[in-house]
Structure 1
Amino acid sequence: MQPHRGRSGRIATATGSLALLLLATACGGGEDGKGATAKGSPTNVSATVAAVVAPARVEVIAGLTGCKVKIRTEADELREGVCRTKRGDYLITTFPQEKLKVTWLDAAAVYGGKYLVGTRWVVSAKPELLEQLRPRLGGEIQQLRGVGPTPAP
Structure 2
Amino acid sequence: MPQPQPRPRTGRTPSAARLVRGAAVGAGLAVLPLSAGCSVEDDAAGRNKASRTPAISAVSAQVVAPAKVEVIAGLTNCEAEIRVEADELRQGICHTAKADYLITTFPEERFQQTWLDSAGMYQADFLVGLRWVISADVKSLKRFRPQVGGTIVHMSGMGPSSAPSPS
> Is the structural similarity TM-score above 0.5?
yes
Q: Which has the larger radius of gyration?
A: 2
TM-score scaled to structure 1, two decimals? 0.68
Structure 1: tracts of 5 or more residues without a match: 1-19, 32-36, 148-153
Q: 1:79 maps to which residue?
A: 90
User: Which of 100, 123, 143 is the equivalent residue of 2:154?
Assistant: 143
Give, in whole Å, the separation in 1 of the partners of 2:39 and 2:129.
Answer: 19
Look up the equivalent residue of 2:110 and give its one-letter code. Answer: K
Between structures 1 and 2, the one with greater helix share: 1
Deviation string, structure 1 residues 36-78 (Cα, Å, up to 9, x no partner): x55xxx5411001111214141001001111011000000000
Give, in whole Å, the separation in 2 of the partners of 1:127 and 1:109.
Answer: 16
Structure 2: tracts of 5 or more residues without a match: 1-29, 41-50, 159-167
CA contact (8 A) 2:39 2:149 kept: no
SS at match of 1:110: coil
Number of aligned residue pairs: 116
CA contact (8 A) 2:84 2:91 kept: yes
Q: 1:133 maps to which residue?
A: 144
How far did 1:30 drift? 9.7
Give, in whole Å, the separation in 2 of the partners of 1:43 and 1:56.
Answer: 18
Q: 1:53 maps to which residue?
A: 64
TM-score scaled to structure 2, two decimals? 0.63
Pair 1:115-2:126 in alignment: yes
How far did 1:96 drift? 0.1
Pair 1:104-2:104 in alignment: no
Provide the identity percentage: 50
